[in-house]
């Protein structure tokens, strides 16, 4: 059983989706801790209601980012995770912290990376006139939203869409995409121990696509 630690800064809807999916007999993973940089994060309430250890740790004025991350990830590592999942975790993790982690870390981001790293992705997609939008799961590296891409879910941009419209439809896809990725890692189909990552023993030439609730290689990457 893959031990998963989840990092979240907000309401925790992706955590809820991961938790629901983990209850399936064949999920292959269990959430063993939830950690936040926000004392009032809804994700903490979700975790505690499910009996999962939950901790919020805010940055002290005297701490720089590296010091904060060192303390934060000391707590994360105490639950002995095999995988760390950033599910709406809004802090940039320092390169020093990542270098000291022995387990992989993945993140879900609301755009079709490499388009629109960072914030305000839905508005930026509309401003660019994109006809397609979506979300991506990638390996976390020191460069913001630039780690190896693992999988993506796509939606069509409709005439008259607002950023809120896109956000709602993308979030629905995220709730399927992130559990599918964690399940694929837990069952050994998606391997992060090599670079590029491998899926079913083959190097990923392009991000996997979400079909129904499962991941498949792109037909024409």
Report, as residue numbers or ranges, the catalytic residues.
Answer: 109
DSSP 8-40: -SSS-HHHHHHHHHHTSTT--EEEEEEEES-TT
Token reading at 209: 């696509």
> Is residue 122 a contact partner of residue 163, using CB atoms and an 8 Å limit?
yes
DSSP 143-204: STT-SPEEEEEEEEPPTT--HHHHHHHHHHHHHHHHHHHHHHHHTTSEE-SSSS-EETTEE-
Token reading at 38: 């926000």
Half-sphere exposure of 39 (CA within 13 A, CB side): 2
Q: What are phi and psi of 99, to 5 degrees?
A: -65, -25
- CA–CA distance, 157 with 50 (Å, rounded to integer): 36
């Amino acid at each position: 059983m893959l031990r998963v630690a989840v990092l979240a800064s907000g309401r925790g809807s992706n955590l809820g989706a991961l938790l629901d999916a983990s209850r399936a007999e064949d999920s292959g993973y269990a959430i063993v801790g939830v950690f936040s940089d926000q004392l009032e994060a809804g994700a903490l309430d979700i975790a505690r209601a499910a009996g999962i250890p939950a901790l919020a740790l805010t940055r002290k004025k005297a701490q720089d980012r590296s010091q904060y991350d060192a303390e934060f990830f000391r707590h994360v590592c105490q639950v002995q995770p095999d995988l760390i999942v950033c599910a709406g975790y809004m802090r940039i993790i320092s390169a020093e912290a990542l270098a000291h982690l022995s387990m992989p870390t993945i993140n879900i981001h609301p755009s079709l990376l490499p388009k629109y790293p960072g914030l305000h992705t839905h508005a930026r997609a509309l401003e660019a006139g994109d006809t397609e939008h979506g979300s991506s799961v990638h390996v976390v590296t020191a460069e913001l939203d630039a780690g190896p891409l693992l999988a993506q879910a796509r939606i069509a941009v409709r005439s008259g869409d607002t950023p809120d419209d896109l956000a709602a439809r993308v979030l629905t896809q995220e709730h399927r995409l992130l559990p599918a990725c964690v399940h694929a890692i837990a069952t050994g189909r998606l391997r992060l121990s090599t670079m590029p990552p491998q899926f079913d023993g083959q190097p990923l030439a392009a991000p996997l696509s979400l079909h129904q609730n499962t991941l498949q290689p792109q037909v024409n990457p």
